[in-house]
Amino acid sequence: PAHLDDLTVVADRDGATGVVRAAVSVAGETSASVRLQLRDAEGELVAEATGADAELRVPDAHLWGPGAPYLYDLRVELVDGEAVVDRYSLPVGIRTVRVDGTRFLINDEPFYFKGFGMHEDHVVRGKGHDPASMVHDFALLEWVGANSFRTSHYPYAEEVLDHADRLGLVVIDETAAVGMNVGVGGGMFLGGDRVTFSEDTVNDATAAAHRRHLEELIARDKNHPSVVLWSVANEPESHTLESRDYFAPLFDVVRELDPTRPVGFVN
């Protein structure tokens, strides 16, 4: 049977009006149509539309922002006559992100990242997601005055981003590309210099896996307002022509998949 397959949301502003652009894909053959409703935090209907590519406009929109999160509820239904074939609900935050020179702007206001490269690792549980430890971590972030964190060096559980959406913490979302600097590693641990980019080290197969990872990361996390920047790697070799040849196509992939967020790496 036909069902809702994917939902991509881009939420930004046109002056004081919030604009939520939704692209819905449907799997399977069907004559059913797509119906969308956007409700505010009190459950009141503020906008509705029909069609797989729809635009919902919200006058005097409440913006999602650091420390001041506001989430709308986007309800998507696949409707065949009077029958609802499938439905999906998604929290939506309306906000803008852009870089202006050396300033990082959220909702056109300068944002200064105060936070951590965190790890999804705990003394008792070890490596992995634990809801109670997550709540404790977020409480510690608030306690020390942090407003952001980076998912070093891998994507975290989706529940972490859901919690960041609800609490208004800003996230740099990073892939598991760490240690792509064999020259440093070789000098420290292997008794001499090594070449990072070669057929025997970081090569075409690495780039293909890296690309798939980026595609999967963006497909999963694209609708989280807390995610403001994609990090393609942690501390890679970045000063050589070979590193530019390796990373430039990956940056292009990210910008093509999501032109709404900046992309970078951590160094």
Q: Which of 109, 142, 235, 237 is catalytic?
A: 235
189, with CB counted inside 10 A (0-12, 13-18, 19+), is: exposed
For residues 13 and 98, is the Cβ–Cβ distance under 8 A? no
The answer on pLDDT for 114 being more than 70 is yes
Give residue 183's pLDDT band: very low, low, confident or very high (50, 70, 90): confident
Please report, for residues 74, 184, 261, the alpha-carbon distance to residue 58 in angstroms, rounded to integers and kept in the order given: 12, 51, 22
User: What average pLDDT does range 236-251 have in this prediction?
Assistant: 96
More confident residue, 237 or 193: 237
- For 165-193, what is the mean pLDDT? 81
Contact 69, 33 (CB under 8 A): no
- Per-residue pLDDT at 187: 47
Catalytic residue status for 235? yes
The pLDDT tens digits of the residues spanning 64-83 come to 999 999 999 999 999 999 99
Whether the model pTM is above 0.85: yes
